Amino acid sequence: MATPVMEKSEAGAGGTAADSPYITATFRIRRFNPEISDEVTWQDFQLEIDPKERVLDALHKIKWEIDGTLTFRRSCAHGICGSDAMRINGRNRLACKTLIKDISPEKPITIEPIKGLTVQKDLVVDMEPFFQAYRDVMPFLITKGNEPTRERLQSAEDRERFDDTTKCILCAACTSACPVFWNDGQYFGPAAIVNAHRFIFDSRDEGGEQRLEILNDREGVWRCRTVFNCTEACPRGIEITKAIQEVKRALITRRY
């Protein structure tokens, strides 16, 4: 246990009166409220805020102290529930996992709803089409024959094979970052393919063939243009484009 380390982690965290940690930042938020107007407007909010805070903290500050009508979804506030995916400075991010200091707060920070889904109010979009695509890939373990009395056995290597795609929290950051999805909402989208991948490559699953058939569709994996927007957007760091490529390879070789 090194004492110097403690000093280091303290730096700036406490915040003495002399050097206030606060900065002034502008948040430019895309507003839409169908109960008032069919027009979309951009509204600027100036905040005194600690740059080490999250974008979600800034949104809360606006909602709680300035404008209660600002509407967005949120729940856990630390990046595991997937409620608050939004487009921050043009990139899909979770508001609760994006610190203000990391997104150049000296310039106005733009916040808008994720693209490709119907905007219902401010930052709230209709998630139904997204979950429909998820449901359509049969995202559950399919097995045949009798259930064993104890657990199904699986080697650590077989478990590792699909570990990356089990991390998905269904926040829709990837799917709504995909240019193919923007133009064709019937494309399954990266998230649904990720969740199919999670089962196709699970050694316990016996429904891989069915799932591959579904993704062999015109709206399936072959629409992927390997743009890598999904991988860039994923707040869980899943290598989504790679997962999609693995599904393509499995379709060609029928080995998985």
Name which of residues 51 to 70 contact another protein (CB under 8 A). Answer: 52, 54, 63-65, 67-69
Asked if 217 is part of the footprint of another protein (rule: CB under 8 A), the reply reads yes
Asked if 74 is part of the footprint of another protein (rule: CB under 8 A), the reply reads yes
Q: How far apart are CA 11 and CA 7, in angstroms?
A: 7
The residue within the footprint of another protein, chosen from 28, 30, 51, 182 (CB under 8 A), is: 182
Q: CA Rg, the chain, in Å? A: 22
Tokens of 100: 């203000």
Which residues from 17-56 bind another protein, rule CB under 8 A?
33-38, 52, 54
Which residues from 77-106 bind another protein, rule CB under 8 A?
77-83, 97, 99
Asked if 230 contacts 175 with a C-beta cutoff of 8 angstroms, the reply is yes
Q: How far apart are CA 23 and CA 91, in angstroms?
A: 23
The residue within the footprint of another protein, chosen from 27, 45, 199, 256 (CB under 8 A), is: 199
Asked if 190 is part of the footprint of another protein (rule: CB under 8 A), the reply reads no
Three-class DSSP category at 24:
strand
Q: How far apart are CA 181 and CA 121, in angstroms?
A: 21
User: If binding means CB under 8 A, how many residues of this protein chain bind another protein?
Assistant: 99
Which residues from 227-246 bind another protein, rule CB under 8 A?
none
Q: Which residues is 117 bridged to in the sheet?
A: none
